[in-house]
Amino acid sequence: MFAYELHKIRSAELIREADDYRLARTAQRRRRQSADDAARQARSHSARRGRSGFTRAA
């Protein structure tokens, strides 16, 4: 019975570690994605869509 209890404890510990690792990876992925989205949005707002900043002479 003692070996079985140790196995259950170790199994639960491994499951908790895997969940923590998965949560950390998900948070890192979302952080990176939001930074990429913010950079992409800043680039799109700063671009003038092919138009010059100066008016052209008539």
Please tell me the predicted confidence (pLDDT) of residue 7: 97
pTM of this prediction?
Answer: 0.59
pLDDT tens per residue across span 30-57: 999 999 998 888 887 655 555 666 677 7
CA atoms within 13 A on the CB side of 30: 6
Q: Which two tokens stand for residue 53?
A: 């900043």
CA dihedral 34, 39, 44, 45 (to 10 degrees): 100
